[in-house]
């Protein structure tokens, strides 16, 4: 008698232990936490733990080699009695404001040039990234040599072109010249980040908008102010946000060039925090200096992200 295929019964046994474990791991409720846990551990160890320790030190009288005690906000309040801290507070805003303003203007200009049809465009775009690729300490040492009071290439060039009187300014030994020097190096260092990011925004603008504006009789300036700049606002907001945070917390450039001198005229929060917290051993005061602008920067981040969200949606 013939047997139909659908009449054949296949014996079904219970799956093995390995199959049950594999099936359990494939479940979304298990697989998601398994993938997220390593990243969460890294964030806790490398971000959350140092931040919590910094907050604890800032609210204590921690000193290297002796027990610490809780003092609340006393370190933050006592800092205003220090002339050096008040000078540092002023330096940070001058340094950040002028640097970011120059980087915005020069970054937009450079991005517009790189967006044009140029010979060796790819090579030029790659060369623009060099200041960002070279280690900061190494490139700043080169600038230290160029601003050196005896071997300054800047002074030699200025004197040769008739722009300066011999022997030229002492760039790193005078108050305002030293601030100009550290701002110059910071702008040189941060300009590629602005230029390449803004260039990415420029490339994404549809060419039809420019063609329509040109057909309506708009010149180059009108196309920039009414087409390019409005569409670049979200990109500019993000770039300025990141640059403001990085510039406020800059350490390498100032420490290598001037170490905060002459007479604390170029100290920033990071360099003063290093001197107070590490060189003199007052960990609590050093942590308080480094965290002083944290609430302000959190507000800046919140405001910028809110602005970007409004521009996008």
The helix-helix angle for 175-203 and 136-146 (nearest 10°) equals 130
Peptide bond into 59 cis (omega under 30): no
pLDDT tens column, 227-245: 999 889 888 988 998 899 8
pLDDT tens column, 87-99: 999 999 999 999 9
Burial of 291 (0-12, 13-18, 19+ CB in 10 A): buried
Task: Give the sign of the dihedral formed by CA 65, CA 66, CA 67, CA 69.
Answer: negative
Question: In this structure, what token pair is assigned to residue 313?
Answer: 């949606």
The reported pTM is: 0.84
Whole-number pLDDT of residue 1: 47
pLDDT in tens, the chain (313 residues): 444 555 555 555 566 777 877 777 777 778 888 888 999 999 999 999 999 999 999 999 989 888 888 998 999 999 999 999 999 999 999 999 999 999 999 999 999 988 887 777 778 877 888 888 888 888 899 999 999 878 788 888 888 888 888 888 889 989 899 999 999 999 999 999 999 999 999 988 888 888 898 888 888 889 999 999 988 988 898 899 889 989 998 999 999 999 988 988 999 999 999 999 988 999 999 999 999 888 888 888 888 778 777 766 5
Within 10 A of 241 (CB to CB), how many other CB atoms are there?
18
Question: In this structure, what token pair is assigned to residue 55?
Answer: 């907050």
Q: Where in 106-164 does DSSP place strands (E)?
A: none
| Contact by Cβ (8 Å): 296, 280 | no
């Amino acid at each position: 008698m013939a047997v139909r295929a659908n009449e054949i019964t296949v014996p079904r046994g219970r799956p093995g232990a390995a199959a049950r474990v594999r099936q359990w791991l494939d479940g979304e409720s298990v697989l998601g936490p398994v993938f997220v846990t390593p990243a969460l551990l890294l964030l806790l160890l490398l971000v959350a733990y140092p931040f919590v320790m910094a907050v604890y030190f800032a609210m204590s009288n921690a000193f290297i080699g002796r027990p610490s005690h809780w003092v609340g906000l006393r370190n933050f309040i006592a800092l205003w009695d220090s002339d050096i801290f008040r000078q540092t507070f002023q330096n940070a805003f001058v340094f950040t404001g002028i640097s970011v303003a120059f980087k915005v203007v020069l970054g937009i200009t450079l991005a517009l040039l790189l967006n044009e049809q140029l010979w060796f465009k790819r090579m030029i775009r790659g060369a623009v990234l060099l200041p960002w690729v070279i280690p900061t300490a190494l490139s700043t040492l080169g600038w230290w040599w160029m601003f050196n009071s005896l071997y300054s290439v800047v002074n030699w060039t200025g004197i040769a072109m008739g722009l300066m009187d011999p022997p030229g300014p002492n760039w790193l030994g005078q108050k305002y010249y030293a601030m100009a020097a550290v701002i110059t190096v910071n702008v040189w260092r941060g300009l590629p980040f602005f230029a390449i990011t803004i260039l990415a925004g420029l490339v994404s603008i549809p060419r039809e908008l420019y063609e329509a504006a040109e057909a309506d009789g708009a010149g180059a300036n009108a196309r920039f102010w009414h087409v390019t700049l409005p569409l670049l606002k979200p990109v500019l907001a993000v770039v300025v946000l990141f640059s403001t945070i990085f510039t406020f917390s800059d350490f390498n450039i100032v420490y290598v060039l001037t170490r905060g001198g002459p007479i604390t005229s170029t100290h920033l929060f990071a360099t003063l925090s290093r001197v107070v917290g590490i060189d003199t051993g007052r960990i609590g005061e050093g942590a308080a200096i480094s965290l002083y602008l944290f609430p302000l920067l959190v507000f800046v981040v919140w405001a910028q992200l809110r602005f970007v969200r409004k521009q996008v949606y």
